[in-house]
Structure 1
């Protein structure tokens, strides 16, 4: 028997006249689109969970009753799952910008990986439907707070690192001079020519 009080089912998509029915957001999906703040928020949460799980495995494996290889195994599995999930987040972010997920391979290219990650944080996603689905619904308060803070932190760090890499490439003498002006002991010297026993 049909429920008379239930409205008609509306599938996610563009209904015309600027109206979009958003598809429900799933943090574990590897196929949906992902806006900038949700991308930063999901990265922060997944990285924090992975770090806590790895730290817990190290603490537990320090016990004499637990074999050391078990700690290494748990750490490896958590790290692998984190890499897969973070790669999926990048694919979803690229879908929001109307780019193919294959662009994630740019993370493996030295010299391009930092500007590419900065691009993922700064690029504006399409506000309407694209070939990858509907945009995200407006973010909630927690996504705005945690995603916003992590977004600002990552943009600042990636901008600094990108500038440092390009300065080292184009002006290595300038970087060497700046490092020499630092106070003694702030940068540890590498022991060259010493043998370790």
Structure 2
């Protein structure tokens, strides 16, 4: 090989090496860009998956919190009915205090006086966790609840004949005891405890 040929070959090799050196950083940058692009969809998928899990877990968490509250022994605020009962008695009402177990809690009381008309209401929280109400008046059932009209459906409980009225969300029993109108009402789910309340009323009234 001549000196000229050797020189030409060396120049070619040097040029190839320089070109390779120039391509190296560019190729590396391109590879990094490709890796970054491929990583971004994975990051988005992970983020989307985390958000989806959060959407599922939040209602589940709320369900368990609600269930724990329902299943636990709930504390209710008990009210003192003495003052209203005493005032009602002074106005001529029997002011019946039904004979019930300690599991029944008085949670509301109201006394309404309009001229000679007196209406005494007492709300109870039952052993099964339902709301019931005992109302008594020297007037009519309509004075307690204007929807209580007509004969109602006869129901016998505690030796007393009651007139039952049902609606979508409640059941009400009405009877005359000792010359007064007694009204027992319960939310629909608590209607099964009306007989027990009626027993307590009958025992207290001596009916």
Which interval holds the TM-score relative to the shorter structure?
Answer: under 0.3
Q: TM-score, normalised by structure 2?
A: 0.18
Higher RCO, 1 or 2 (CA under 8 Å, sep at least 6)? 1
Determine which structure has more spread, i.e. the larger CA radius of gyration: 2
Length-normalised TM-score, structure 1: 0.18
